Structure 1
Amino acid sequence: MLRRMLALFAVTVSMLLAQHASAVWQYVHKDFSGRYAMYGGYPGETTPPVAGDTKAAFTLTGTAARDMFNAIGPDLKDACPDSSVRVRNRETLSCPYHPADGYYCDFGFDLSTGLSIAGSTSAAICTASTASKDGRK
């Protein structure tokens, strides 16, 4: 009898803990800051966008970039000569952290195909940008 009561108690506590754990996280839509650019051609050799060759590059900043940076870790080893610059990368998503600029994440889409591509509206990954001047902080 005591064993059954303990088992029932354990199941009840487990269910309550599971419910509490799932109640802590909430699916929430949050605002974010960033910028984008539309172009044709290839990064570095951009041309005006035209039907069949339109791409979009995005840079997210602030809390959204920090959350993405934390989610895709770990840091790339020896990504930049300046050891204070941290870079995390997954496929076509690049998220650097510069002490002076904070976090930002660059990515893009080929709008003609819908495929994810590398894209950037920022300076080179390892160099500081004008983020503090353009409101990225």
Structure 2
Amino acid sequence: MRKLIWLAVAGGGMIVSLACAAEWSGEWKALRATYTIYSGELAEREAPTSTERSMTVAFEGQAAKELFDSIGPDSRDTCSQDKGDRERRKRGIYCTYTLKGTGRGYQCWIGLNLRTGESIPTVSC
């Protein structure tokens, strides 16, 4: 019985892997994004200095959806209280899915410390 269960799990994993591999092309895709270079915190950013220089890149749409799907699971603590809204965070990556309103859809922000090359959190509530 254990062998049968193990074979079913392994077979299901192979099917999922094959399905994912069939969709992946390895090609570069165009990305429409905006960015800002600054010092301090993103919400209260100032002109970059010789000792402090950060960059936040923001984008939405299909690229944001793919990134959102890649960094799950959803965060337990979220900025939005609206039903259906979701957030996901991994270090300097912050993505949201908004069900209603003007910011509807997927949006992501990626923060980088340009002096060290490290990923940094940038967006807060």
Q: TM above 0.5, one fold?
A: yes
TM-superposition CA deviations, 1:54-84 (whole Å, max 9, x none): 1111112111000011111222235232122
Q: Which residue of 2 aligns with 1:33?
A: 32
Change over 3 Å in CA distance of 1:23–1:91 after alignment to 2: closer
In the alignment, residue 42 of structure 1 is paired with which amino acid? Answer: E
Alignment of 1:52-131 (within 5 A): 52-79=51-78, 80-99=80-99, 100=101, 101-120=104-123
* Structure 1 residues 92 and 23: CA distance shift in structure 2, 3 A: closer
Aligned mates of 2:93, 2:71 — CA distance in 1? 9
Change in Cα spacing, 1:67 to 1:39, as seen in structure 2 (3 Å) is: same
Q: Taking structure 1 as the reference length, what is the TM-score of the superposition?
A: 0.65
What's the CA shift for 1:94?
0.9
> Runs of 5+ in structure 1 lacking a partner?
1-20, 126-137
Q: Which residue of 2 aligns with 1:11?
A: none
TM-score, scaled relative to structure 2: 0.71
RMSD: 2.2
Higher strand proportion: 1
Q: State the structure with more CA Rg.
A: 1
1:23–1:108 CA distance, 2 compared to 1 (3 A) = closer
In structure 2, the gaps of 5 or more residues are 1-17
| Deviation, structure 1 residue 111 | 0.6
Cα distance in structure 2, aligned partners of 1:87 and 1:45: 22
- Aligned to 2:33, what secondary structure does the other structure show? strand
Aligned-residue offset at 1:119 = 2.3
SS of the equivalent of 2:40 reads: strand
> 1:53 and 1:72, CA in 2 relative to 1: closer, same or farther beyond 3 A?
same
Asked if the contact 1:32–1:62 (Cα under 8 Å) also holds between the matched residues in 2, the reply is: no
Count residues with an aligned counterpart: 103
Identity of aligned residues (%): 30
CA distance 1:62–1:111, shift in 2 (3 Å): same
2:59–2:108 contact (8 Å) kept in structure 1: yes
Please state how far the C-alpha of 1:44 moved relative to its aligned partner. Answer: 2.7
Partner Cα separation in structure 1 for residue 55 and residue 119 of structure 2: 10
**Any conservation in 2 of the 1:58–1:119 contact (CA below 8 Å)?**
no
